Amino acid sequence: MEIAAVTTIVVKYIFPPVFYAFHGYIATAMAIAALFRPYEAWFVPFTNWQIPCTPGIFPKRRNKLAQAVAGTITDTLLTTEDVKRQVETLVTEQNIYLAVDKFVDAILREFRDTDKLHRLARDISELSPALLQQYVVSIVDAVEKGSDRRVASIVEKLFDHVVMNIRISKEQSQEFADRIMENIVNTAQIRTALINLLTPQNIGALDDSIQAHATGPIKLLARLINVKNVCNETRRFMEKEPEKANKVITDLINRFEIRDQIAHRIMSFDMRSMPLQSISNLRSSAVTFIEAFLKEHRNDLINGVERIQGEAIGTVQAAIIRFNPKSIPKDWLDRIKREISGFMYNYLKRELGSLLEQAIPKLGTYGMIANKIEQFSPQQLEQLVQRICHSELKWLTWLGTFIGFWLGIVQVFMNVLVH
């Protein structure tokens, strides 16, 4: 009787919780395993009938899983705005300076290698003639076709930043004035110009104009001195006695300080004081002149490049081989680094948004993530999920055990109530 009573107690009060807990553990473990296994589809032996729930859920839905994960990452976790904000936090003057500093130092370290330096000199010297000649030909062809404004742009910039800012010193203006006095406003040329000016027709026109338009003392003085006779005598004097006429003209030039006045005019000349239309016309004329020169002297330019290519090769080789990074002053190198980093920072600060908007879609983040997940084998997929959710899956199994145990307790209470 005692054994029967113990058996009854075990069956009614102890077995249900244990059995249900074991059942919950096994059922939950099998459900978790069914997420990944079997890795391949199973079929009824000797038929093509696929057994349901094979392969596991994740292997069977790997394609959709890859698309869902990729969509979640690109749409919510790794959006374009998130990338832009993160990149913008990295784009600082200090970070860019550090990158430029490392880059420049790496280049300078390469120049300390003699073998690499000679190889670089040889490669560049071999490429230089072809590149230079090709560059000249491409520029001239573009000018002839009118399809490129590089030359026009360069000439306009040179005109605006160099020609427009030219200032002539006192010594230069005096030198220009001397050349003008020697070649344009010399005594002989002035005497010849006066002789050509004082023709009988011009003298008659001058006298008629004075009589027609002058009034008062001027008109009276013109009649008294007889302008026509004075002009005729002056012309005759310059023609008959050139030496004396030249002395008179030279004396007048010195007395009137013509040379100093010309030098002063040249020194005080400022192109920026000219009318804007005149400046624009000069700029256009300069561009037209340069383009016409390139078209007209195309063959001469190409031949000139070919003639100097030997000297250019030697110069390039010598310059590269003689270059010593240690000879660069530290303060100058630091200034160059800061100027480069400052330029890059200002450029990125201004253009970073548009650059990222163009670059991020081209990265194909969605397709890259989806393809990567699709390439996972079922074993790798299981290991990935297990590594991420190992503790959660373990507790999920124990949760099934716990629920099964309490279901067994409920069964015990029901047995008690029934009996």
Q: pLDDT digits over 181-202, tens only?
A: 888 778 888 888 888 888 888 8
Helix (H, G, I), strand (E, B) or coil at 43: strand
Minimal CA–CA distance to 402: which of 11, 23, 10? 23
How would you label 341-350 residue by residue, b for 16+ Cβ within 10 Å and e otherwise? beebbeeeee
Report yes or no on whether pTM surpasses 0.85. no
pLDDT of residue 307: 67
What band does 318 get if pLDDT is binned at 50, 70 and 90?
Answer: low
Candidate from 6-15, 136-145, 166-175, 248-257 with smallest mean pLDDT: 6-15
Mean pLDDT computed over 336-343 = 85
pLDDT of residue 1: 46
CB 408 within 8 A of CB 16: yes
Kindly report, residue by residue over 284-307, the tens digit of the pLDDT.
Answer: 888 888 888 888 887 877 777 666
Q: Please state the φ and ψ torsions of residue 205, each to the nearest 5 degrees.
A: -65, -40
Phi-psi region for residue 91, left (φ > 0), alpha (ψ -120 to 50) or beta? Answer: beta
**Of the segments 69-73, 329-333, 371-375, 379-383, which one has the largest average pLDDT value?**
329-333
Name the more confident of 55 and 104: 104
- pLDDT score of 340 more than 80: yes
pLDDT of residue 324: 65
- Residue 38, preceding peptide bond in cis (omega within 30° of 0): yes
The Cα–Cα gap between 347 and 181 comes to: 53
**Sign of the alpha-carbon dihedral angle for 211, 213, 219, 225:** negative
- Tokens of residue 256, six digits: 């009137």
Kindly report, residue by residue over 25-56, the tens digit of the pLDDT.
Answer: 888 888 777 777 777 777 778 777 877 777 77
Kindly report, residue by residue over 389-416, the tens digit of the pLDDT.
Answer: 777 778 888 888 888 888 878 877 877 7
